[in-house]
Structure 1
Amino acid sequence: MLNTADLPDDVAALKAMLIAAKAREAGKDAQMARKDERIERLEKLVAAFRQAAFGRKSEKSDPDQFDLALEDLETAMASIHAEDEADTPTGNRAIRPRAINRGSLPKHLPRVEEAIEPESLICACGGCLHCIGEDVSERLDIVPAQFRVIVTRRPKYACRACTDGVAQAPAPARLIQAGLPTEATIAHVLVSKYADHLPLYRQAQIMSRQGIDLDRSTLADWVGRAAFELRPVFDALIADLKRSTKLFMDETRAPVLDPGSRKTKIGYFWALARDDRPWGGGGPPGVAFTYAPGRGGQHAERILQGFAGVLQVDGYAGYNRLTAPDRVGPNIQLAYCWAHARRKLVEITRTGTAPIAEEGVRRIGELYRIEAELRGLNPEARLAGRQERSAPLIADMRTWLTHHRARVAGKSPLGEALNYIAKYWDGLCIFVADGRIEIDNNSVERTIRPIAMPRSFCPCRR
């Protein structure tokens, strides 16, 4: 409460106090308005995040869009925290716990040491200060990409005593004869395009900011020539994969330019992968991508020419020709994916109460829990564990499946999901009889997801 005895008698001083009070009130009003605006912005971000996480299937965002919603929310919160800290006097700031990646900086990164010494090493008493310890902190630093020019000089030498000729070192081999780029530059363009999904025209824009004017078509020429040189590496990789006895395969759509029409058409990337780590196999993990103009089974057959063994796939019918009785070629056994079977049941549970589908999801979940405990063991131990624990569940599930298929309409969503499991039952159960086979083909789906990402997500749209 204001004490009138503390007010000055001078009119000018009273006016100054009144102006200062009004200024403080205006500042508080502006601060409250900013906070209200921040709260509204956060509420919108939370709503978008909830939609991405829990919305209906037809309205759900791509997993990458889900991550973007979370990133935007975390960014907005950090901005608000920083603004609040700036508005709060230094002495009144509360210590807020902050997420810290303490100790996570890799040891292989080079360290640049800097020592910050006090302004004076002379004590107030006149003596000399000596070091009794130190505080050490580490921060992650980045040196931006630096373009440089490699100048190659090849001196020419001649003899003064005779005219037998000129000696000069031969010119080093180049990936692109008489071209501008070094091999490291071409590798950077390839990684940026295929691993980081950075189109060539954007790479050209990045280079132009450094005064390097390169046309997109020039970069495309580099990529094409590099692809030619890398072809033997690809051939060796896919030949090594096909010498394995167990592989994964999957395919995904890839829009490609249709020459002459100025439009795109749908092509397909086929991924052939090996991952023997879950059972301690000796073959290193690897994946080879092949482009094909369509999704027909003949493309899978062409890619797999010479392979014999177990191929783990989803339920796409195009793979059926690989096991046709009249097929000429090595024997291929198809193992199917429980993740796809479970996915069809999960979709039904999202539309409302579905006790049969929920029961199916629970039963498949029990199989996955067993697999999690067996992962990393040798094939013999995995086989023994599956025979003891998973085989009885599989047998019980078959009875459950037969019972409910007889009760559910075949053309209903639940009927179609149950029919899918029944159709691929033998291939779904192969993993119980072979410790090398996985319960699903998620290994190859994880490798193909980065290829599919630009199809549904583009950072430039944000």
Structure 2
Amino acid sequence: MSFPADLPTDVATLQALLRAAEERASERDARLAERDAVIERKEERIVRLEKLVADFKRAMFGSKSEKADPDQYQLALEDIETAIATVHAEDEAIDPPKAQPRKRDANRGALPKHLPRVEEIITPESTTCDCGCDRHVIGEDTSERLDIIPAQFRVIVTRRPKYACRSCESGIVQAPAVSRLIESGLPTEATVASVIVAKFADHLPLYRQAQIYARQGVDLDRSTLAAWVGKAAYELAPVYDALIADLKRSTKLFMDETTAPVLDPGKGKVKKGYFWALARDDRPWNGDDPPGVAFTYAPGRSGKHAVDILKGFDGILQVDGYTGYNRVIDPKRQANIRLAYCWAHARRKLFELTKNSAAPIAQEGLRQITSLYRVEAQIRSLPASQRLAVRQDKSAPMVADFKTWLEQARAQVSAKSPTGEALKYIAKYWDGLILFLTDGRIEMDNNTVERTIRPIAIGRKNSLFAGHEAGAQNWAVLASLCETCKLNGMEPHGYLTQTLTAIVNGHRQSQINELLPWNYVQTV
């Protein structure tokens, strides 16, 4: 240790210098210990975040069955993202970040313009200058935050005064009562619309809605809510019929079916019914017709139900490989329907083979199908004529190569092996699989309609089953209107409120098409 040459000779002064040096050393050690603690905490945080990020990647990109419910992965991602945010919040609470230069408001204008704005102005405690003059506004900083007010109930009180003349006895005058969806009942049309959207768009069963209302002191029995929904379904049935009729005037539709467990009151058991979905989405080829979907309940999966639903339709029907659809192309029927099959289902057959083994044949098939999908990604949203031209130029040679590969692969494996069965499936539906090469309106797969029936599956999971076949058809009516609203970017609550109000006010049946979801004009 070195000492300065000019150290004082006074003992007391030397002791004071030593004490000061000890204090500085102690402060330095404390700072070092605090820094080490921060480093240790941040290293621990890095380890936690790295694990969460790894979990996130596995949930997002890891191998998973293509048959698994996508919502399961959404739930996983939600929890992981929440955990990551918690780690950041813990770290910032202990070690607040240093103040950064104020950035430009990135969220300004991002919130929807139709939302009401409540302005609050924050002013300094005093605007008087040091010189005694008043300061003037020369500019301002503006920020927007999203605020949510919990659902509130209010009571609409309707008064109808009675008027009489004091000079004569000509009679009493009173305005007529306003028509209501539920005569002499409690709800407005907006209230009924809210119940419908909560159940059929947000998948909240009626008994849970009743529990939510009870927390705010509004005691409504589940059966009461069910009565409101049933009345609305009856009044909206003509709109639903018009929706189906409009879809069947198209020349290109999708169709699929999903199970609908229904309670059998006579036996006290649940039997299996089906929701059949008929969908239109011409947006991928810039078609003029708006997208829509109509569900129909049927007690079984027989192809005769598809025949009944499709009465009056002529054109291309895009489906999966279910053999029941063969009945719609029966030569005895007058309809001229062509079936386009789904490459995603063909791909799925090969994908299943690669889950537990190398399966080189299946992997090669997957590679070739992926190349076809790359072409589809390039032509999405182009007019049908341009899509067809690109397919003829790029996809047709790929399909020809795939056909050659398919024949050679089938010759290499047993027809009864898993690989042979998958290849047999593709060969069986080949004519329908390659139909997309002849028409730019046809998609490569049936995913469009499969996306529309996903909400049905969620609602089925939350509600367990429909209580009756008639109730299942009401479900189909209301879910059709809600999902068609979503497809068209319409807000279903506003649409249903406006539509129910128009119906109870005597909207003409001859003008029922005006009430279809894509004709709804949202008002502020």
In structure 2, the CA distance between the partners of 1:421 and 1:230, relative to structure 1 (3 Å rule), is same
2:163 corresponds to: 157
1:407-459 CA distances to partner (integer Å, 9 max, x unpaired)? 1122222212111110000001111111221111211111111111244579x
Check the 8 A contact 1:254/1:269 in 2, yes or no: yes
> Structure 1: which 5+ residue stretches go unaligned?
9-16
Q: How many residues align?
A: 440
**Aligned amino acid, residue 54 of structure 1:** G
**Aligned amino acid, residue 265 of structure 1:** K
- Cα distance, 1:89 vs. partner? 5.2
1:397 corresponds to: 402
CA distance in 2, matches of 1:176, 1:350: 55
Aligned counterpart in structure 2 of residue 323 of structure 1, from 329, 336, 358:
329
- Cα distance, 1:263 vs. partner? 3.9
Q: Does 1:77 align with 2:84?
A: yes
1:342-384 CA distances to partner (integer Å, 9 max, x unpaired)? 1221222222322221211121122212222222222222222
CA distance in 1, matches of 2:338, 2:401: 25
In structure 2, the CA distance between the partners of 1:301 and 1:120, relative to structure 1 (3 Å rule), is same
Superposed CA RMSD in Å reads 3.4
Check the 8 A contact 2:203/2:462 in 1, yes or no: no
Residue 351 of structure 1 aligns to a residue in which SS?
Answer: coil
1:287-329 CA distances to partner (integer Å, 9 max, x unpaired)? 111111111111111111111111000111110111123x323
2:448 corresponds to: 443
2:495 corresponds to: none
Moved more, 424-433 or 437-446: 437-446
Q: Does 1:383 align with 2:388?
A: yes
CA distance in 1, matches of 2:49, 2:395: 50
2:362 corresponds to: 357
Q: Does 1:274 align with 2:245?
A: no
CA distance in 2, matches of 1:257, 1:64: 26
Check the 8 A contact 1:45/1:72 in 2, yes or no: no
In structure 2, the CA distance between the partners of 1:38 and 1:291, relative to structure 1 (3 Å rule), is farther
Q: Please show how residues 109-258 of structure 1 align to structure 2 within 5 Å.
A: 109-258=115-264
- Cα distance, 1:32 vs. partner? 8.5
Check the 8 A contact 1:279/1:379 in 2, yes or no: yes
CA distance in 1, matches of 2:266, 2:187: 30
- Cα distance, 1:66 vs. partner? 0.8
Check the 8 A contact 2:340/2:436 in 1, yes or no: yes
Check the 8 A contact 2:55/2:80 in 1, yes or no: no
1:54 corresponds to: 62
In structure 2, the CA distance between the partners of 1:249 and 1:61, relative to structure 1 (3 Å rule), is closer
- Cα distance, 1:46 vs. partner? 5.7
In structure 2, the CA distance between the partners of 1:452 and 1:42, relative to structure 1 (3 Å rule), is farther
CA distance in 1, matches of 2:235, 2:462: 31
Check the 8 A contact 1:122/1:128 in 2, yes or no: yes
- Cα distance, 1:181 vs. partner? 0.7
Aligned counterpart in structure 1 of residue 317 of structure 2, from 311, 328, 335:
311
Residue 279 of structure 2 aligns to a residue in which SS?
Answer: strand
- Cα distance, 1:133 vs. partner? 2.3
Check the 8 A contact 1:269/1:289 in 2, yes or no: yes
Aligned counterpart in structure 2 of residue 410 of structure 1, from 402, 406, 415:
415
In structure 2, the CA distance between the partners of 1:56 and 1:275, relative to structure 1 (3 Å rule), is closer
- Cα distance, 1:43 vs. partner? 4.9
1:340 corresponds to: 345
In structure 2, the CA distance between the partners of 1:306 and 1:259, relative to structure 1 (3 Å rule), is same
CA distance in 2, matches of 1:35, 1:215: 55
In structure 2, the CA distance between the partners of 1:456 and 1:351, relative to structure 1 (3 Å rule), is farther
Aligned counterpart in structure 2 of residue 295 of structure 1, from 275, 280, 301:
301
- Given the two structures, how large is their TM-score scaled by the length of structure 1? 0.85
Residue 108 of structure 1 aligns to a residue in which SS?
Answer: coil
Aligned counterpart in structure 1 of residue 94 of structure 2, from 87, 90, 94:
87
- Cα distance, 1:233 vs. partner? 0.2
**Aligned amino acid, residue 264 of structure 2:** D
1:14 corresponds to: none
Check the 8 A contact 1:337/1:439 in 2, yes or no: yes
1:13 corresponds to: none
Check the 8 A contact 2:205/2:462 in 1, yes or no: no
Check the 8 A contact 2:281/2:291 in 1, yes or no: yes
Q: Does 1:374 align with 2:374?
A: no
In structure 2, the CA distance between the partners of 1:103 and 1:350, relative to structure 1 (3 Å rule), is farther
- Cα distance, 1:39 vs. partner? 6.9
CA distance in 2, matches of 1:451, 1:117: 52
CA distance in 1, matches of 2:291, 2:433: 23
Check the 8 A contact 2:108/2:144 in 1, yes or no: no
**Aligned amino acid, residue 197 of structure 1:** H
CA distance in 1, matches of 2:122, 2:83: 34
Check the 8 A contact 1:338/1:440 in 2, yes or no: yes
CA distance in 1, matches of 2:95, 2:416: 64
1:12 corresponds to: none
Q: Does 1:432 align with 2:443?
A: no
Residue 406 of structure 1 aligns to a residue in which SS?
Answer: helix
1:31-58 CA distances to partner (integer Å, 9 max, x unpaired)? 9899979977995896597368535639
In structure 2, the CA distance between the partners of 1:46 and 1:453, relative to structure 1 (3 Å rule), is farther
Check the 8 A contact 2:52/2:80 in 1, yes or no: no
Residue 412 of structure 2 aligns to a residue in which SS?
Answer: coil
- Given the two structures, how large is their TM-score scaled by the length of structure 2? 0.76
Higher RCO, Cα 8 Å, sep 6+? 2
Check the 8 A contact 2:342/2:446 in 1, yes or no: yes
- Cα distance, 1:138 vs. partner? 1.2
Aligned counterpart in structure 2 of residue 265 of structure 1, from 267, 271, 283:
271
> Structure 2: which 5+ residue stretches go unaligned?
1-16, 464-524
Moved more, 288-297 or 345-354: 345-354
